[in-house]
Structures are given as structure tokens and as C-alpha cells.
Structure 1
Amino acid sequence: MLTGIISDIHEDIIRLEAALKLFEEQNVDDIICLGDIVGYSVPFYGYLSTRDANRCVELIRKNCSVVVMGNHDLFATKRLPSKCADFNFPMDWYQRSFAERKKLSKGKIYLYEDHELPALLDDENLTWLSELPEYVIKSYPTHNVMISHYATPDITGCSSTEVKYFEQILNHLEFMTTKNCIYGFSGNDHIPGMKIFSDGTVKNYDFEKVILGKQPCWVTGPTVSMGTVANGVMIYDSVCRKLETFALNSPIHTVPSSI
């Protein structure tokens, strides 16, 4: 079974349509989305005039068998994560002023209003987005895969701490094991290719193919959106357990020097 994997769309309808076309050409059997369908940050993206959160949500709803919640989706729907590393959200978080939230967060979590535009979702799409799960167990005939935007204890990616070292992923690997999952697929970090955490090591890969082994592993992959790093998608062959990244070859956006 071939599964197309997309993540971090950030309202980029042009690149999303390109990704779906690539999946059609590769004859995938189904498609999953790892979150952050919305979230246009002015400094970091270069498609202001074409961004379309509603159309992106509609295409994801139509084409994806599995969709999970990302941190930007949480913000757009004013929903709190079940857990966010060592930060505890007050229940009235979104009722507090930006200044108060910035002071309280102490840089531990992402804040958005100072650089991110409202998604402008209609009521139907907003409701659908707000009801997305934080993770899903994707079952194949011989094994299970955990689908999430990021990794436990920050499974939605709200924390500003990036997972860089193998020791940081131990909690997530343990969580995967309790759910009978050998692999975990995530996004969030906008990797130009993919990064695989397994058997005590962390390895970076370009846009290429890798056969996943018998050891549990966590994979974080590329963004669909045209941003400051190379973008792309992944395709997973569940029969031979091959994971391959495909570049979308969009121009690289340069952050304005005034930022």
C-alpha cells in the first residue's frame, strides 16, 4: 500500500495542488496529513496573494483519510493542546492579552499574533479543523504507524523546543510502543528531506528513499509550503517499508532583512 504524506501546508494552495498531483502521478492508495493546514506567517512565506486557507482545508477534507492537529491549527481554532511539554496553559489562555501571554510563556511556547495573519476560515471549515485529533494510529496489515504533528510530550508542536537529540524522543517512542506502533511520522520542523530517530541515532536525509528497519523509529519530514527551506512530500510503501521524500522544487523564500 502506498500512502502519500503531506504536512505543514500553511494555506499554500498552489503547492498543495502540486503535491496532490504528484501523488496522483505516483498512484498512491491514500493520503494522510500531519497538520498545520493553516497558519500564514508574513515574514516566513512568500505567497500572500495566493494563500487560501478555506480551499486548503476543503482539499484536505476531500483527499485525506487521516488528518491530525498542528500547533497553527490549534491557534486558528482557539483550542488548547492536551499537553505541551513543561508549559501548562491556563484555561482562559485565549482571553488574555498578547502582552500577558508573552510574559507568562517566557519563550517556552510559540505565540502567533505578532506575525501570523488570521486564517479567515468559514464556519464549516473552522468547526472541522477544531475537531481534529492530536494523533491517529494508522493500521497496515503487518504493523501500525503513529501519525502526529510532533512528538510526546509536545505532540501538537506548541513548544518552542525543537527535538534534535535522540534522548528527546524517548518519551514518544515509549508512547508509540504502548499503542503498538513501530514507526511514527510527523512534521512541524520543515525538514528539507527527512530526519530519522532510531536505535540511539539521529540521521538526516535529503530527498531520497530509505528502508525503515525493524527497530522503532520516529520520522519528521518536509513542509509542503513555499518557505525558507526546500519543500516536499513523503510516500510510504507499507509492504517493503520504504519511505521516500519527493521535492516540490519551489523557490526558496528569503526573510526580509528588517525582521
Structure 2
Amino acid sequence: MRLGIISDIHENTEMLESALKLAVFHKCDEIVCLGDIVGYDVRFYRYDMRRSAKSCVGLIKGNCRWVVPGNHDLFAAGRLPHYTNGFDYPSDWFEMQPNERKKIANGKVWCYGEDASNDLGKNEILYLRELPEYVATSEPGAECLFSHYIYPDLTGSTTRYVERNYQLKGLWEFMNEQKVRYSFSGHSHTIFTGFAYNGILKRAGSYLKAIHSIPSSMFSLGNETVMVLLPPLAGEKGNTGFSIFDTKNLTLNIISIN
């Protein structure tokens, strides 16, 4: 099976259409979306006249077998994440002014004060509200965990990033519970693909660097338990594109779209 994996679209209709066409060209059997379909931060992106959150949600809904929401999707849908890292969201969080949210958040969770308004309708919002925070597939040879970010912050709603090995302990345990070997996430807008192998935690100190980026477009994942951070489809810097995971030969191919 060839899985096309798309992450961090951020309302870029043109890039999403290109990725879907390339997925057909590369004979992908199924397509996965790792979230942040919507969310146009005016500080980072420069395609305001060509964006459409509504169109992007429609394209994802019509073409993807597995879809999970990102933190921007949750905010656009007025939905709170399950994991908050101890932050207590106030009941009027979505009605607050951006400066109020920023003050209360105190740097613990994202506030979305720079996200531009979007063209989502009721149907698109309902769709985003009903998406599962993660998907664990049981397809033979494709036992994967799909989430916007790394467990336990599956939606990437907190500002805490994984940097050290000890922070991955919960992920390996969760993957074992879900009976999956590969975990795919986005969210971090990495320039290169990032990897973390469970075996490294056992061999190295727990405070050593957790995720290692590799400047290549083709990888062999092998049979070890591994977490993969994928580049975004829409980004303000570096490589952008989508990924193809071949479950037969266990290779990951990054397809650049610039």
C-alpha cells in the first residue's frame, strides 16, 4: 500500500490541489491528512488572495481516508483539545479578544491572535468538530498512528515541543497500546524530516536530543518503532510538500512542491 500523507495546509488551496494530483501520479492507494487544514497566520503566509479554508476542507473530506485535526482546526471549529498540559481553558475562551486570550494563556497554549478570518460554513465547522484527535490503523503492514503532533499533545494545542528523549516515553507506551509501529505527525513545520526511534531511548541518555532531522527525500524506516515528523504542505520557509509511505518496502519519500 502507498499512503500519501499531507500535513499543515493552512488554507493553501493551490498547494493542496497540486499535492492531490501528485498523489494520483505516484499511484497512492490512500491519502492521510495530519491536520491544520485551516489557519492562516498573517505573520507567516503570503497567499491571502488565493486561500480558501472552505475549499481545503472540501478537498480533504472528498479525498482522504484518514483525517485528524490540528490545533488551528480545533480553534476554527470552537473545539477544545483533550490534552491541555494542565491549562484550564475558560468557558468563554472562543469569545475573548486575542489580547485577553494571550494574557490568560501565559505562554502555555496557542492563542491564534494572528489568524485571519476564514470562509468556513456550518458544514465545514461540523466536519472539523467531529474529527478524531488521532487515528490508529489496523491495516496489515500499515499499522500507523496518525496525529497532528506527538502524544500526549496529539493536536499540538500547547506550546510545548518535544526536544528530549524522556519526553517520548509516553508516546512509545501509547504506540504499544495501540499496536502500531509507525507514528506520523506534522505541526512543527520542520525544514527536513525528523525521526525518533524507540531503541535510541534505551541506548542513550534520556536528556539527549529526541528528534533528528535528515536532509534527504528518501528514507528506509525499517522494522523498528519510529516516530516521524513530516514537513508542511504550506510553510513560510524551507522545503514544503507531502510524503508517501510505501508499506510494502517500508520507504518514505518526500515529494517537494515549491
TM over 0.5: yes
Separation in 2, partners of 1:13, 1:47: 10
User: Which residue in the other structure is 2:14 paired with?
Assistant: 14
* 1:173-252 equivalences in 2 (<5 Å): 173-198=172-197, 199-200=199-200, 202-248=211-257, 250=258
Separation in 1, partners of 2:149, 2:235: 20
Contact 1:192–1:232 (CA under 8 A) maintained in structure 2: no
- What is the SS of the residue equivalent to 1:116? coil
User: Which residue in the other structure is 1:254 paired with?
Assistant: none
Deviations 1:58-105 (A, max 9, x none): 110111000001000001011000112232323442244433322221
Task: Flag as ranges the 4+ runs of structure 1 deviating above 6 A.
Answer: none
* 1:78-117 equivalences in 2 (<5 Å): 78-113=78-113, 115-117=114-116
Shift of 1:215: 2.1
Shift of 1:208: 1.4
Contact 1:12–1:226 (CA under 8 A) maintained in structure 2: no
Shift of 1:124: 1.1
More moved, 236-245 vs 83-92: 83-92
* 1:90-169 equivalences in 2 (<5 Å): 90-113=90-113, 115-169=114-168
Separation in 2, partners of 1:67, 1:141: 19
Matched positions, count? 248
Task: In structure 2, list runs of 5 or more residues that go unmatched.
Answer: 201-209
- Compared with structure 1, are the counterparts of its residues 96 and 188 closer, same or farther at alpha carbon in structure 2 (3 Å cutoff)? same
Contact 1:5–1:33 (CA under 8 A) maintained in structure 2: yes
- Compared with structure 1, are the counterparts of its residues 74 and 32 closer, same or farther at alpha carbon in structure 2 (3 Å cutoff)? same
- What is the SS of the residue equivalent to 2:195? strand
Task: In structure 1, list runs of 5 or more residues that go unmatched.
Answer: 251-259
Shift of 1:35: 0.3
Deviations 1:223-245 (A, max 9, x none): 11142232111100011111111
TM normalised by structure 1 equals 0.91
Separation in 1, partners of 2:32, 2:171: 20
Contact 1:71–1:158 (CA under 8 A) maintained in structure 2: yes
- What is the SS of the residue equivalent to 1:117? coil
